Structure 1
Amino acid sequence: MASENKILYIKGSRDVEVTKPDVTLGDLLSMESTDKLMLAKVRTLKIVRFKKSGRQRCVVSLLKIIACIHGEFPQVDIQNLGETDIIVTYEDQKTPAFAWHIIKTVFVAAVTFFGAAFSIMAFNNDVDVTKLFGQIYELMTGQETNGYTVLEIAYSVGVTAGILIFFNHFGKKRFTVDPTPMEIQMRLYENDIQTTLIENSERRGEEIDVGTTDTSGSNRN
């Protein structure tokens, strides 16, 4: 057989988004093999079909993918270099209105700005920074403060600089090549969501696994 003694390397991400209802292995995996003809055929093998419109999600086990490949090429040796469970999210390719993007951006920016400002003001009021600076200024200079001294200016500049340095980000500019703390937290949050989705799918028996005859993702949201 053409696939005899052939090795197929596959690598899949943990979360894949598709825009067409008929999902093939080529949509989910990166693959490599010396048998290019077999490789082209494997990429076209269908693994999931979403029957409904709108956003849907299902979990596909690697064993189901291997069984699908072995159904056409039983002698091929499959080497997995990626995930063992793949979350497949299907969503219609619809571009929201530009005005809606503007509204969401303005809303998020406003909430972030006023929320951060309130937090800083609440902290300053809680520890009574104004009184503290006044006492320090009077101790160092022997004069009463008028509320606008080098201490307040340095404090304001320091808070701004500290935020920029901590978040390692200003507009589109990064100060270092390291990911920002926000990016790290977002990745951790995404990992937690993906782990929960996979575990819930397994517990409910909704995972598309080896031996599963229903490969429809319609009822797996």
Structure 2
Amino acid sequence: MKETLYFSVDQNVEVTNEEIYLGKIATLWCRDKAVLSKAMACKLGKMPSGKESFRVFSAVEVIQALQTADPNVEVTNLGTPDFVVHYHRGKKPDALWEFIKTAVICLVVFFGAAFAIMTFNSDVSIRPMFQEVYKMLTGVEQEGFTILELTYSIGLAAGILVFYNHFRRKKVMEDPTPLEVQMRLYEQDVNTAVIENSNRGKEQKGVDGA
């Protein structure tokens, strides 16, 4: 009786070793522990040495590798039909360089956001509007700074914190932030483009070979 082996691979996988083994990139399950151990040690391929790169694999390649290692096993894929394996050398990041990059990004975002807010306030003439509202509420004409500007500034900062769902290292809510959602969507789009380009290249090679 054949044993059934189930496997699942995420669409985007990172490895730090040039040798790609299924146990490092996939989730595998089988009732027979010997079959499971053999599957985890199954080699899927090798990344180009000396540089960081990526390769696109299909579930068919995984099934072929598993059944080559053990012809008596029945393989079932529960994950994505195609996936991307990124190879990154396991080197320790330079703390100073990481700090410099983070500081530069923070400065760009801070001054960019400040400029955007100032241009918006200038476009809608918010200062004269506050003066008119203050005069309507108090009957006194005020030329300088008023309580309206203060509450507006506090509300703007509080709104940004709530919208981006972060205060220091802690989240205000458990839901993913808008930035996290957009990053995941961007990552999915990149993976889809990489997989489609790879499949298109394979089809072109097949046409040229024919």
- Give the TM-score normalised by structure 2: 0.93
Residue 57 (str. 1) matches residue 49 (str. 2): no
Shift of 1:146: 2.9
Deviation larger for 51-60 or 118-127:
51-60
CA–CA distance in structure 1, aligned partners of residues 21 and 168 of structure 2: 39
The answer for the alignment partner of 1:214 in structure 2 is none
Structure 1 residue runs of 5 or longer lacking an equivalent are: 207-221
Aligned AA (1:160): A
Residue 35 (str. 1) matches residue 32 (str. 2): yes
Could you list the structure 1 runs, at least 4 aligned residues long, displaced by more than 3 angstroms after superposition.
none
Shift of 1:86: 1.5
Equivalent pair of 2:47/2:55 in contact (CA under 8 Å):
no
The answer for the alignment partner of 2:64 in structure 1 is 67
Equivalent pair of 1:61/1:86 in contact (CA under 8 Å):
yes
Shift of 1:94: 1.4
The answer for the alignment partner of 1:25 in structure 2 is 22
CA–CA distance in structure 2, aligned partners of residues 121 and 133 of structure 1: 15
Match of 1:13 among 10, 20, 40: 10
The answer for the alignment partner of 1:210 in structure 2 is none
Equivalent pair of 2:161/2:167 in contact (CA under 8 Å):
yes
Greater fraction of residues in helix: 2
Shift of 1:84: 1.0
The answer for the alignment partner of 2:160 in structure 1 is 163
Equivalent pair of 1:24/1:46 in contact (CA under 8 Å):
yes
Matches within 5 A, 1:1-221: 4-205=1-202
- Give the TM-score normalised by structure 1: 0.88
CA–CA distance in structure 2, aligned partners of residues 161 and 50 of structure 1: 47
1:191 counterpart SS class:
helix
Aligned-pair identity (%): 41
The answer for the alignment partner of 2:206 in structure 1 is none
Equivalent pair of 1:130/1:147 in contact (CA under 8 Å):
no
Q: What is the RMSD of the two structures over their aligned residues, measured on CA atoms?
A: 1.3
1:11 counterpart SS class:
strand
Structure 2 residue runs of 5 or longer lacking an equivalent are: 204-210
CA–CA distance in structure 1, aligned partners of residues 152 and 28 of structure 2: 55
2:202 counterpart SS class:
coil
Count of matched residue pairs? 203
Equivalent pair of 2:5/2:73 in contact (CA under 8 Å):
yes
